[in-house]
Amino acid sequence: MWWQDAVVYQVYPRSFQDSDGDGVGDLRGIAQRLDHIASLGVDALWISPVYPSPMADFGYDIADFTDVDPVYGTLADLDALIAAAHARGLRLLMDLVPCHTSIEHPWFRAHPERYVWADGERPPNNWVASFGGPAWTRDPRTGRWYLHSFYPEQPDLDWRNPDTVRAMQGVIRFWLDRGVDGYRVDAIDRLLKDPQLRDDPPATEPYLLPLDEEHGSLRHDHSRNAPDIGSALAAIRAAAGDAFLAGEVYLPTRELRPYLEHLDVAFDFEFLHAPWDAERLRASIAAALEVRDTAWVLSNHDFGRAATHFGPERAPAVALLLLTLPGPAFIYQGDEIGMEEGPGGDPPLDRFGRDVTRHPMQWEPEPLGGFTTGRPWLPLVDPQRRSVAAQEDDPRSLLYLYRAAIALRRQLGDGLRFEDATPGVLAYRRGEDHVVALNTADEPRPAPPAGELLLSTAGASGGPAPRELAPAEGFVARARV
């Protein structure tokens, strides 16, 4: 399968490239920058939602599953982007959002049976939305309560209703028929809930992944991840056929197995949230390898940028880690030049504070970064400090390292075996011929024995691998014979 060791590049369309000067990125802008994506050596790009939306959740509140929002362009523009990507050997993935719609979707009034409702004077249970607050809102027209796992503007679909399933299967087929190669599937663990709508019990211990404080006060036994989730996943797979499906399953690694019976891969969020610590990273990698078919990701539009999470000085080592693990890896736009989180909107645009992860891509070292000729929807962070153009021809740049690591990745052997290393050093062998070593400590550490140096965060290559690693230094080398 093409995806088994693929690198996928995430495009957040609002912030990638504006082609018409309105300050918002669009489909034609993505097409204009495809050569950059292809030059990285990646296998596919995933574009976050471009469907018509009131933008209560910046595109994840969808008002029409089978069209394009005019702010991004037209269906013809999307068709042209798919064709242009394919011409460059790139597959194109879209975002599938099966859990909910916008409250402005015509289905909400024309087909209320496709949603989760409850009657009564009070909400039927104590469920809490992911962003905090009750997960139930009373509809002023009918007086009934509707469920929303996220914002009140995002009512949840009822996947226990066969009509809902058929409608969403039609959506899946619509885009595949237009040439899309697969989907990143949003919030998939919310697809089925307890049919009896029972209360969630109080949490008795911290969740293994970060949660909103109010959301984390409960153990979500009934409001997500239902025991029969496989029936809904099977319906998605039936419609998708052999198209690639990557699931956003916000669950601990050990709970991913039922999803992977139907999805090709699931993101490993324990890895994404792990600290820069050799033992913690090793444990999260080992857990993922035991489950199998997990996808590696360290940045995205929801959970922040790796350069901020780990520190900008560690960005090269983080890239080396991400791109030398077996299985598919996802890169968030801008990570290849070390973009950090910014100040967000003033006033904030996203109610949950995610503006900071969504600032526009920095192409040129000038105030608007080559992103737009107008007023950008979010300000640029630091284009005069870091940009694609400034790093393009610099063999010591992070961009150069990303390209080199992706190219070298194709030569690494199968599987992963951890190597003995001094505390603070994460070391593993790929196949029989390659060793990867990364120093997560704040002081120099002895490097594991290795042969010829192939790639280093220090900018060197060729000659023998170093015997000592500086803080945040890493390398790929041939194994000693």
Active site residues per annotation: 186, 248
Q: Which two three-digit tokens encode residue 373?
A: 């000729």
- CA angle 411-414-419, nearest 5°? 100
The pairing of strands 44-47 and 117-118 is unpaired
Question: Which residues lie closer than 8 Å to 137 by C-beta, 6 or more apart?
Answer: 145, 146, 148, 152
- DSSP string for 128-195: B-TTSSBSEEE-TTT--EEE-SS-TTSPBB-TTSHHHHHHHHHHHHHHHHTT--EEEETTGGGS---T
Long-range (24+ apart) CB contacts under 8 A made by 453-459 are 453/477, 454/408, 454/478, 455/320, 455/401, 455/404, 455/405, 455/408, 457/316, 457/317, 457/320, 457/401, 459/395, 459/396
Distance from the Cα of residue 423 to its chain's centroid: 30
The string over 290-311, giving b where at least 16 C-beta atoms fall within 10 Å of a residue's C-beta and e elsewhere, is ebebbbbbbbbbbbbbbbbbbe
Identity of residue 390:
A
Cα 6 versus chain centre, distance: 14
What are the residues whose beta carbons fall under 8 Å from the beta carbon of 282, sequence distance 6 or more? Answer: 418, 426
Contact 248, 391 (CB under 8 A): no
Distances from the Cα of 208 to the Cα of 195, 203, 216, 266, angstroms:
26, 12, 10, 17
Question: What are the structure tokens assigned to 165, written together?
Answer: 């399933």
Contact 316, 394 (CB under 8 A): no
3-state SS class at 67: coil
Residue of 76, 70, 66 whose CA lies nearest to 55: 70
Three-state DSSP class for residue 358: coil
Per DSSP, the residues of 255-298 read G-HHHHTTSSEEE-HHHHT--S-HHHHHHHHHHHHHH--EEEES
DSSP state of 114: G
Q: Which residues pair with 113 in a beta bridge?
A: none
